A and B are shown apart, each in its own frame.
Chain A
């Protein structure tokens, strides 16, 4: 089992969620985050003074899948979340030790 973490632009969330649903992913967790990479922040104005804001709002998805689905899920996210402009985001993939469903106590693949 693997965990796919994807940091994407906020307005892409609905499109990515719909696409993942299409390929059979029925659950995910979303967090609102701030960050920057190559995309620079912007300058804001407050009562006549400029100041730099480095962090940009993004959205992070956590998706748990079995190893076989990895390529499908990655291309689904990349194709849907891409705009071609700087700041599209990144995907991180890690191995997962265990998954447990709280309601029933299921473990492993059944719990996904």
Chain B
């Protein structure tokens, strides 16, 4: 009897030991599931950081423009994100990542129509990440067209760029990240987080807009000399740059869309390029103008960030510094050049995003860690740079011309003098101050 009792107690103890794993077997995730969950969390966290860049853009633009237009700047920034989000949900995402039979644009996934919500939640996380990128491209244009654009015209632009111009080029370079496929990525085009896909698209669209609009009243004198129109709040502009720098830690490392150790190098490259851009822009301005100029230095940081965006995953830290430093020098000379050819870009958007986006894309080919200065890779990079310029500048130019001929693109002279806050939105941003004297 005692023998059976001992065995019985032994079996009972064994069962008690197994109890936890029997009860929890259903709930315990596999390591694969944990990695998937981590990917979701990282991608979405990065998306939220990139969303915050909208605040950065708004502050940069408000700081570098006049007080009498501050409300208008805010509204344009609020709306290019809001209208853009809706447009990208409806059409843009599908064009960019839908099934693409030609390799030139997608034709499915509109309104999330072709995904099984019981099975594949990844499309939600991926869309969230992509929509904030699309919105970044859209909001770049706001700065180049500041202080003289009719609000209605700008709303139309926001919808069209998010539905068509941005996603078509995006599909060429990134389509296969979801259901599509692009002819450019098929050739080996390197643009990890979007120096060309996002920043050059925004920059060249901004260039088209600035050209169609013409310069602000009083920007160029009778004999063609350029007159500065100072921004009303440099600390606000600086706050904007810091917010953008911060958000870029979602923009670049987040583009892995995977939570693993590769994000560390990307973050380091991003930071070094930004720092190099700021320092070298400051030094260049110091040499050219005799003083370390704040506005140029701030633009230099952004230039470095834009430039490293293409190669942040395939460059070494040293070459990231070089990329950022060159961007810091290039941005100042680009600003001077645009001024010389009488293109009025109030915040330097075309120089920071268009020109430095192109430089960064080239740098990603030149300084590719696995195969430096490989001319075949560089050739593909150049092809992508030019394809982007032609697609974006031409379609944007036509679009702005059509908007100009229909609802109107440029505010009237009186509206511009009075300040767009009053004429477009019926209220000034700073009622306590007298702001419309220049």
Contacts and interface: CB of A to CB of B under 8 A. Distances in A.
Interface residues of B, number: 13
A9 to B, nearest CB: 9
A67 interface: no
B71 to A, nearest CB: 10
B340 interface: no
Nearest to A56: B436
A42 interface: yes
Nearest to B417: A11
Nearest to B438: A10
Contacts, number: 27
B438 A42 contact: no
Interface residues of A, number: 12
Contacts of B45: none
B290 to A, nearest CB: 26
B20 interface: no
Residue with the highest number of chain A CB atoms closer than 10 Å, among B426, B431, B436, B437: B437
A102 interface: no
Contacts of B62: none
A13 to B, nearest CB: 8
A44 B434 contact: no
A45 B422 CA distance: 9
B428 interface: yes
A92 interface: no
A59 B437 contact: yes
A23 B254 CA distance: 64
B427 A45 contact: yes
Nearest to B425: A45
B340 to A, nearest CB: 22
Contact of A34 (B426, B427, B434, B438): B434
B422 A44 contact: yes
Given A11-B417, A42-B422, A44-B422, A32 B427 contact: no
Interface in B162-187: none
Given A11-B417, A44-B422, A57 B428 contact: no
Nearest to A14: B218
Taking chain A's interface residues, is the majority helix, strand, or loop, or is none over half, making it mixed?
strand
A44 B437 contact: no
B151 to A, nearest CB: 14
A44 to B, nearest CB: 5
A16 to B, nearest CB: 14
A44 B417 contact: no
Interface in A29-49: 32, 34, 42-46
Contacts of A45: 425-427
Contacts of B438: 10-11
Contacts of B437: 10, 32, 57, 59
B426 A10 contact: no
A43 B438 CA distance: 21
Interface string A1-31: 0000000001100100000000000000000
B436 A44 contact: no
A45 B434 CA distance: 17
B434 A32 contact: yes
Interface string B414-438: 0001000010011110010011111
A47 B431 CA distance: 13
Nearest to A85: B414
Nearest to A10: B437
A45 B427 CA distance: 5
A45 B423 CA distance: 11
Nearest to B68: A57
A23 to B, nearest CB: 18
A59 B434 CA distance: 11
A99 B354 CA distance: 57
Interface in B38-52: none
B434 A57 contact: yes
B427 A57 contact: no
Nearest to B426: A45
A10 B436 contact: yes
A12 to B, nearest CB: 10
A57 B434 CA distance: 7
A82 to B, nearest CB: 16
A24 B33 CA distance: 83
Contacts of A59: 437
Contacts of A11: 218, 417, 438
Give 6 closest A-B pairs by Cβ, nearest first.
A45-B426, A10-B437, A45-B427, A57-B434, A44-B427, A57-B436
20 contacts: A10-B436, A10-B438, A11-B218, A11-B438, A14-B218, A32-B434, A32-B437, A42-B422, A43-B426, A44-B422, A44-B427, A44-B428, A44-B431, A45-B426, A46-B427, A46-B431, A57-B434, A57-B436, A57-B437, A59-B437
Given A10-B436, A44-B426, A44-B431, 4 more contacts: A11-B438, A14-B218, A44-B427, A45-B425
